[in-house]
């Protein structure tokens, strides 16, 4: 699995409805082409079969050593969400540049201030507080409409929350009290968001107890373990005992970026190669998504007038 796999939208991917195909259009569409209710293409497995994942009702934890390919998986999901109809993005990026290309598509982008190099963790806390209020309101709506989870026909927007370098928010930025509040608010959002159309995708290097509380880590039903430096680190990501059964992310070669063990719908880890988007492809898709979203918003305002 050393070959590079084209991501959803790369020109070499023979898929009919993927992001790059849309981004090659010369004019914006009146409707974004995808939906979060569509399965998200993540890459291929070791047999060359395409790997899809239902992100809509799940929370996904992505972890592994630096340079292993985590950001590639995050950008695949961000690209799908940005090109999805009736979908809103909320992004947290400690490094600014991994999710930064999608910031103009997002309702909220939480990163450090490039003018002074500081991080306003209060902004992040305020965003999480507001997201929790939205989640609670959605459950009230579901109860009133006799439902237990958001469905496509409900026509409610899907809010996709993506966090890169989660450890920075729980161990570095702000005061100890602010970091603890961030973890507490996020734990509530991960617990509540799944069924009300607010999935959380979070990436970090090693989600050990001193970085991410176990009570938060265990709420992520889907896991992706990129290369790890130790067997224990692999088990922390995938779950205790998987490494002894042969699912050990420490066995992944350092030169094989993008390879990971994924626990998704089947409940058993499978070896995958995450699809790849180059920087230019990411920005091209992000620009198209931003352009189209603005066109749709402007058209809606014009029709309302």
User: Token pair for residue 303?
Assistant: 């029709």
Is 241 annotated in a binding site? The answer is no
The full 3-state SS of 98-145, as one line of letters, equals: CCHHHHHHCCEEECECCCCCCECHHHHHHHHHHHHHHHHHHHHHHHHC
Is 28 annotated in a binding site? The answer is no
Q: Is 136 left (phi over 0), alpha (psi -120 to 50) or beta?
A: alpha
Is 273 annotated in a binding site? The answer is no
Is 68 annotated in a binding site? The answer is yes
Is 67 annotated in a binding site? The answer is yes
Is 70 annotated in a binding site? The answer is yes
Is 176 annotated in a binding site? The answer is no
> Which residues fall in the annotated binding site for ATP?
64-71
> Which residues fall in the annotated binding site?
64-71
């Amino acid at each position: 699995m050393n070959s590079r796999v084209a991501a959803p939208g790369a020109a070499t991917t023979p898929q009919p409805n993927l992001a790059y195909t849309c981004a090659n259009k010369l004019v914006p569409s009146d409707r974004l082409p995808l939906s979060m209710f569509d399965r998200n293409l993540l890459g291929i497995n070791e047999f060359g079969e395409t790997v899809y994942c239902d992100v809509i009702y799940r929370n996904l934890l992505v972890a592994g050593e630096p340079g292993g390919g985590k950001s590639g998986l995050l950008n695949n999901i961000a690209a799908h969400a940005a090109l999805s109809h009736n979908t809103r993005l909320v992004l947290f990026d400690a490094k600014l540049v991994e999710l930064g290309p999608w910031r103009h598509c997002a309702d909220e982008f939480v990163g450090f201030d490039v003018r002074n190099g500081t991080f306003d963790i209060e902004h992040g806390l305020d965003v999480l507080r507001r997201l929790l209020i939205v989640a609670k309101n959605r459950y009230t709506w579901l109860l009133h409409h006799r439902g237990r989870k958001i469905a496509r026909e409900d026509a409610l927007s899907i809010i996709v929350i993506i966090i890169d370098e989660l450890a920075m928010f729980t161990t570095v930025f702000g005061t100890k009290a602010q970091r603890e509040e961030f973890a507490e608010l996020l734990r509530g959002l991960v617990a509540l968001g799944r069924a009300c159309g607010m999935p959380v995708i979070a990436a970090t290097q090693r989600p050990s107890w001193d970085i991410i509380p176990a009570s938060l880590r265990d709420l992520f039903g889907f896991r992706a373990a990129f290369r790890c430096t130790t067997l224990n680190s692999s088990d922390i990501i995938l779950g205790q005992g998987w490494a002894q059964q042969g699912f050990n992310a420490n066995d992944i070669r350092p030169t094989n970026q993008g390879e990971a063990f994924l626990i998704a719908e089947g409940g058993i880890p499978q070896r995958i190669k995450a699809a790849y988007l180059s920087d230019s492809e990411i920005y091209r898709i992000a620009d198209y998504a931003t352009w189209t979203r603005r066109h749709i918003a402007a058209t809606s305002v014009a029709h309302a007038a």
